[in-house]
């Protein structure tokens, strides 16, 4: 309970000899001292000395400012109020922190549902861009070379396979064009209107196998599939030769003791993958 300055001054003026104002102000030790001084004063001198002290306390309380009085006599209540306020703020902060992750989670789920996940391919593929430039400049042979190199970086890029299919069609290499068109569709290319109207694929569309290819879901099966895949053998010879040389080099390093058996097996796995 908050103590009142004026009330304390009145008690000091009227009952200062008995220390009533000290008990009121939660100073029981000083209150008992006033009682003791009163009893000793009456016994020794016949005068209650503490009455005079109570009068001075009354004057001091009346002249004291409210802020000073509160700091001196109401500090305990202030601390309790402050602690209560701090506790309330901590509770509010705790609820906010508990609810924040839930709100963030719900926001992420909404954004994730709103934005479909797309396949991403390496952006740093200079051969793809140079191949497109050469294709637009009608340098079909150069475009095929660059698109083939770009496939080494992004082997599952449907756009690269479609560009190669278009390039081989312009170069009148139907089997290779069929092969890369099929690979483009296997990797997610689904613009069938573009396949039916793209000028670069005009040569492919007049082939006898095209209708079978189209009716079969833009893919070949059986002997035709074997023929189409066999048409890529010439492109893979260079890769096979390089791979063989690299394997021989690893074997030579192992024989010389420059590679341990574990390192040899690890490097071989990386090459074969």
The more confidently predicted of residues 76 and 22 is 22
Do 221 and 245 share a domain, yes or no?
no
Work out the average pLDDT over 256-268.
80
pLDDT by residue (tens digit) across 18-46? 777 778 877 888 877 777 777 777 777 76
Do 226 and 247 share a domain, yes or no?
no
Residue 132 has pLDDT above 50, yes or no: yes
Residue 234 has pLDDT above 50, yes or no: no
**CATH number of the domain that 147 lies in?**
1.25.40.10
* 215 vs 202: CA distance, rounded Å: 17
pLDDT by residue (tens digit) across 78-100? 554 455 555 555 655 555 455 54
Do 131 and 227 share a domain, yes or no?
yes
The answer to whether residue 172 is domain-embedded is yes
The answer to whether residue 192 is domain-embedded is yes
The more confidently predicted of residues 166 and 58 is 166
Do 226 and 241 share a domain, yes or no?
no
The 3-class SS string of the chain reads CCCCHHHHHHHHHHHHHHCHHHHHCCCHHHHHHHHHHHHHHHHHCCCCHHHHHHHHHHHHHHHCCHHHHHHHHCHHHHHHHHHHHHHHHHHHHHHHHHHHHHHHHHHHHHHHHHCCCCCCCCCCCHHHHHHHHHHHCCCHHHHHHHHHHHHHHCCCCHHHHHHHHHHHHHCCCHHHHHHHHHHHHHCCCCCHHHHHHCHHHHHHHCCCHHHHHHHCCCCCCHHHHHHHHHCCHHHHHHHHHHHHHHHHHHHHHHHCCCCCHHHHHHHHHHHHC
The answer to whether residue 81 is domain-embedded is no
The answer to whether residue 96 is domain-embedded is no
Do 197 and 256 share a domain, yes or no?
no
Do 188 and 256 share a domain, yes or no?
no
Do 211 and 252 share a domain, yes or no?
no
Q: Which domain holds residue 191?
A: 126-231
The answer to whether the Cα torsion of 238, 188, 130, 200 is positive or negative is positive
The answer to whether residue 41 is domain-embedded is yes
The answer to whether residue 20 is domain-embedded is yes
Do 148 and 190 share a domain, yes or no?
yes
What integer pLDDT is reported at residue 209 of this predicted model?
82
Do 192 and 136 share a domain, yes or no?
yes
The model's confidence at residue 108, banded by pLDDT at 50, 70 and 90, is very low
Work out the average pLDDT over 198-205.
90
Distances (CA, A) of 27 to 8, 32, 269: 12, 9, 87
Do 26 and 64 share a domain, yes or no?
yes
The model's confidence at residue 201, banded by pLDDT at 50, 70 and 90, is very high
The answer to whether residue 114 is domain-embedded is no
Ranked by mean pLDDT, which of 60-64, 98-102, 104-108, 231-235 comes out on top? 60-64
Do 166 and 211 share a domain, yes or no?
yes
Work out the average pLDDT over 130-151.
90
What integer pLDDT is reported at residue 85 of this predicted model?
54
pTM: 0.42
Q: Which of 72-76, 203-207, 215-219, 222-226 has the lowest mean pLDDT?
A: 222-226
The answer to whether residue 89 is domain-embedded is no
């Amino acid at each position: 309970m908050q103590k009142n300055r004026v009330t304390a001054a009145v008690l000091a003026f009227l009952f200062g000899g008995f220390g009533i104002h000290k008990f009121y102000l939660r100073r029981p030790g000083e209150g008992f001292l006033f009682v003791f001084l009163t009893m000793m004063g009456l016994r020794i001198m016949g005068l209650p000395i503490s009455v005079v002290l109570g009068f001075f306390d009354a004057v001091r309380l009346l002249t004291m400012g409210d802020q000073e009085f509160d700091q001196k006599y109401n500090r305990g209540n202030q601390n309790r109020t402050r602690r209560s306020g701090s506790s309330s703020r901590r509770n509010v902060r705790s609820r906010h922190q508990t609810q924040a992750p839930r709100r963030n989670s719900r926001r992420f789920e909404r954004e994730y549902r709103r934005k479909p996940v797309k396949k991403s391919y390496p952006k740093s593929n200079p051969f793809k861009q140079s191949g497109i430039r050469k294709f637009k400049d009608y340098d079909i042979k150069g475009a095929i070379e660059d698109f083939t190199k770009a496939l080494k970086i992004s082997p599952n890029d449907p756009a690269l396979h479609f560009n190669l299919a278009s390039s081989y069609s312009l170069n009148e290499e139907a089997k290779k064009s069929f092969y890369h068109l099929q690979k483009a569709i296997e990797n997610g290319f689904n613009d069938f209107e573009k396949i039916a109207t793209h000028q670069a694929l005009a040569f492919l569309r007049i082939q006898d196998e095209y209708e079978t290819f189209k009716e079969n879901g833009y893919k070949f099966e059986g002997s035709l599939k074997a023929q189409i895949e066999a048409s890529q053998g010439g492109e893979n010879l260079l890769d096979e030769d390089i791979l063989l040389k690299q394997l021989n080099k690893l074997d030579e390093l192992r024989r010389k003791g420059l590679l341990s058996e574990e390192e040899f097996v690890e490097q071989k796995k990386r090459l074969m993958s």
